[in-house]
Chains A and B, each alone.
Chain A
Amino acid sequence: MTKPDPMAEIRASFFLECEELLEALQDGLLALDGGDKDPETINICFRAVHSIKGGAGAFGLDDLVRFAHRYETVLDAIRNGTLTPDHDTMLLFFKAADFLSDLVRSSQTGDGLEPDLVEGTLLDLESFTGDAVKEEEAATDFEPMAVSLDLSDFDLPSGTVYRVIFAPEPELFKSGNEPQHLLRALAEAGTARITCDSSKLPRLEALDPENAYLSWTVDIETEVSAEDLTELFDFVDGLCSLVITEVSNAPPDKPDLPAPPPDAVDISNPGAPLASPTLQKSNGTRPTQTPNATVRVDLDRIDRLVNLVGELVINQAMLSQSVAEAGLTSDSQVTSGLEEFMRLTRDIQDSVMMIRAQPVKSMFQRMSRIARETSGAIGKRVNFLTEGDNTEVDKTVIERLADPLTHMIRNAVDHGLESKSDRLAAGKSEEGTITLSAAHKSGRVIIEISDDGDGINRPKVKQIAETRGLIPPGQDLSDHEIDALLFLPGFSTMTQVSDLSGRGVGMDVVRSAIQSLGGRISITSVKGRGTTFSISLPLTLAVLDGMVITVDGETLVVPLSAIVETISLMDDDVKRLGPDTNVIHIRDVFVPLVDLGVELGYRSAPTDYEGRVVLLISQEDGARMALLVDTIEEQRQVVIKGLQATYGRVPGIAAATILGDGKIALIVDPVDLMTRASGKTGTPSEDLQLAG
């Protein structure tokens, strides 16, 4: 788009809507697949596809319209009962849904898709309906549609039934009146059934935009008198023709009404997509699951709010500190007021963080697609299950988790599950199961990917690591240590590199992606029973639990998640390793000693270690280091302030935070520090990995 386009905004909102519709479609298909026989479920799918088609038609996205139309036709066949969905049909439906979302995405970016692909999927779809669908049908759907407002939801006691025929004159529009408001007012007066007569509407080319062509017939069952109804139209007196007649005891759904056109739209439910065909529902059969009211908010605004709350937290900490310094007793009013304030701040912070949180559902749906595609490509049957779809996680975390999860799902299908024959030989069902689950556990989010495959082939893993020179041969490693080898850079167990996984970018990339989110990843594997990868993530990226420490007079924060334990050193714990490097001896394990002050360039290496404090830092692969600091101040939550935007990346430093006294403290990035740890009292990173 070269210049600001008024359509761009509408387009953008169309694509946003598409996302929601696609999600609804997925949900519907999953329910169908799960044996849901509710006709409403297939209706939901149908409506979603239809709405996408309608919107796409308005934007001239022909490919999308064409595909959606045929998809809709097949769905319609199921709706009519002419086609019963079986396993293969469902697979195809999923495929078509995936394809539809591809089309939506390609329409959004403007790249075309392979025409062959389009045709192929289309043909597959049509093989179900038998007869090919004519292109013209798609076009007819976009003729001006008559609108019928089904406002029969109002459950009022029955009264007299009136028929109001309301035909606005052009002057009504010229004087700025709006029939919709009048109709709405009318509908509020009782149980109304509103039909629009569009028969006078000329073809588009003959349409005079300043003329009035529509008229409405309202059958209203109300206790209000005819005079009161007329009063509603006082403002437009003389600007329209209005006929109010009493119809005795006529039920609202009388066939003698001007027959509502077949393609009427149900706008009584604001959640329902507008362009969908009406499924005239009586009050009883309306789906019970009404969606929660939601507001779409620009992410920037939320981020600004998050920042402001961050500042509030800092300010509150500063205030507490000055109150403490003023030496007030703990029972003074100021102190109790401050405590209340702290609680409120914490509540506000939690609520704001919740705004950013999103259910992992949309990502899980993407993953189920990955699982389907991968299993399809390598010919394994996979039953993909998800648990805890509604677990909410920070939006950024979700976005940045998509790539590592994709990789892990592919791995699970490709490497985790055995081939069909092996499964049968092991006495398992032919279909493998992969479970993706999310849950909240003690302030963190745990995401687990488990398969019921053969488990990690540890002797093979060890052997590969040895042949690749990742570990010296003949070492005695525990199961846990062997599992950790999977995370080493350049490790790939598949002897045959497949198209989908095992391209050399392996679990090490996954691990660093997770770590950059402040998360940890671990493996549990039982031979013959399967493997589970468990990812533990912080709920938010905006605050962090940290250990406040000092080094050479500087205050720093070390993320608590990285610290295994704190140790007070004895002089003879420290053993000399190289000319400048030392290790410390902890419970029969040697851990490299790294002086934080030296690594950050604050001071030169100390010579005396008696009574010094070290933090034992651990990475997921078991790599460890002992980080020498001067004092440990406290453990507290800190608000993360990025340095990137204002200064740039600082080696060994993840971010900054503002302490209670208004000073800035840097947050240490233990992983970065560990890989950079150089000379003096540290050892090179290659040796680090063996230390665990």
Chain B
Amino acid sequence: MSDHVPLTTDTAEHELLSFRVGEQEYSVDIMSVREIRGWTRATPLPHASAYICGVINLRGTVLPIIDLAKRLAIDVAPACERNVIIVVQVNGQTLGLVVDAVSDILSIPQSEIQSPPEMGGDHGPTFVKALTIVEGRMLRVLDLDRVHPPMDADAA
């Protein structure tokens, strides 16, 4: 399973699951999505980064939950029952992303997907790996590899 966007064929279509975080629209490759579930209060993990909500019980497995708004530094109200958890698989690991709402499933031809422009003013990690336009609105394709918390020495 790869959420890598190939840039070779123009005819290929990408199926993306789009969702909203605050006022911004993001999407992920639908193939990396395992399920979408309602919000559950996560058990907080001590000494974890601020964007880690904690862990929830996903049918017997311990699933780490990432607050995408905090990860992307988007100012939103704290997570509550109105939020949704998208369960994704990245590099063989399963994790949950808290988003505000899931909007749509879109088929976007490769030709309409462009790489994000490089911005001199941007420092730190960028979480957008591609951009596209849907009905006049900009849709960001999320780079899941970067969202996924790096396992530091202590957490390895």
Chain A contacts to B: CB under 8 angstroms = 307, 310-311, 314, 554-555, 599-602, 641-643, 646-653, 656, 658, 662-666
Contact = CB atoms under 8 A, between A and B. Distances in A.
Given A649-B156, A656-B55, A663-B43, 17 more contacts: A311-B59, A314-B60, A601-B47, A643-B55, A643-B62, A646-B64, A646-B93, A646-B95, A647-B45, A648-B151, A650-B48, A651-B154, A653-B46, A662-B57, A663-B41, A665-B43, A666-B45
Indicate the member of B45, B56, B151 with the most A CB atoms within 10 Å: B45
Contacts of A650: 45-48, 155
B63 interface: yes
Contact of A664 (B55, B59, B94, B154): B55
A646 B48 CA distance: 14
A307 B43 contact: no
Indicate the member of B41, B44, B56 with the most A CB atoms within 10 Å: B44
A649 B46 contact: no
Interface in B15-52: 41-48
A666 to B, nearest CB: 7
Contact of A647 (B41, B44, B59, B155): B155
Nearest to A662: B57
Nearest to A659: B57
Interface in B52-71: 54-57, 59-64
A280 to B, nearest CB: 56
Given A647-B55, A647-B155, A648-B156, A641 B43 contact: no
Contacts of A643: 55, 62
Given A646-B64, A647-B64, A649-B154, A554 B44 contact: yes
Nearest to A553: B44
A653 B45 CA distance: 9
Given A647-B155, A649-B155, A311 B45 contact: no
Nearest to A649: B155
Interface residues of B, number: 26
Given A602-B46, A646-B93, A650-B46, A656 B60 contact: no
B105 to A, nearest CB: 27
Contacts of A310: 60
B88 to A, nearest CB: 13
A665 B93 CA distance: 21
21 contacts: A307-B60, A314-B60, A599-B46, A601-B46, A641-B60, A642-B62, A643-B55, A646-B62, A646-B63, A646-B93, A647-B155, A649-B154, A650-B47, A650-B48, A650-B155, A651-B47, A652-B47, A656-B55, A656-B62, A662-B57, A666-B43
A663 B63 CA distance: 12
A663 B44 CA distance: 11
B85 to A, nearest CB: 14
In the A-B complex, the 5 residue pairs with the smallest Cβ-Cβ separation, listed nearest first, are A648-B155, A600-B46, A311-B60, A664-B43, A647-B64
Contacts of B154: 648-649, 651
B156 A651 contact: no
Given A646-B93, A647-B155, A652 B46 contact: yes
Contact of A646 (B41, B42, B61): B61
A455 B62 CA distance: 48
Contacts of B94: 646
A111 to B, nearest CB: 29
Contacts of A658: 57, 60, 62
A643 B64 CA distance: 9
Given A646-B63, A647-B155, A653-B45, A664 B56 contact: yes
A348 to B, nearest CB: 15
A644 to B, nearest CB: 9
A253 B48 CA distance: 78
Contacts of B61: 641, 646
A599 B46 CA distance: 8
A646 B57 CA distance: 12
Indicate the member of A307, A649, A650, A664 with the most B CB atoms within 10 Å: A664
A310 B57 CA distance: 13
Nearest to B154: A649
A650 B56 CA distance: 15
Contacts of B43: 554-555, 656, 663-666
A665 B56 CA distance: 9
A663 B57 contact: yes
A418 to B, nearest CB: 45
Contacts of A653: 45-46
A600 B48 CA distance: 10
B112 to A, nearest CB: 36
Contacts of B45: 647, 650, 653, 666
Contacts of B59: 311
B57 A664 contact: yes
B54 to A, nearest CB: 8
Nearest to B48: A650
A651 B60 contact: no
A646 B60 CA distance: 12
A399 to B, nearest CB: 21
A225 B94 CA distance: 69
A651 B153 CA distance: 12
A662 B43 CA distance: 11
Nearest to A643: B62
A653 B151 CA distance: 16
A664 B62 contact: yes
B92 to A, nearest CB: 10
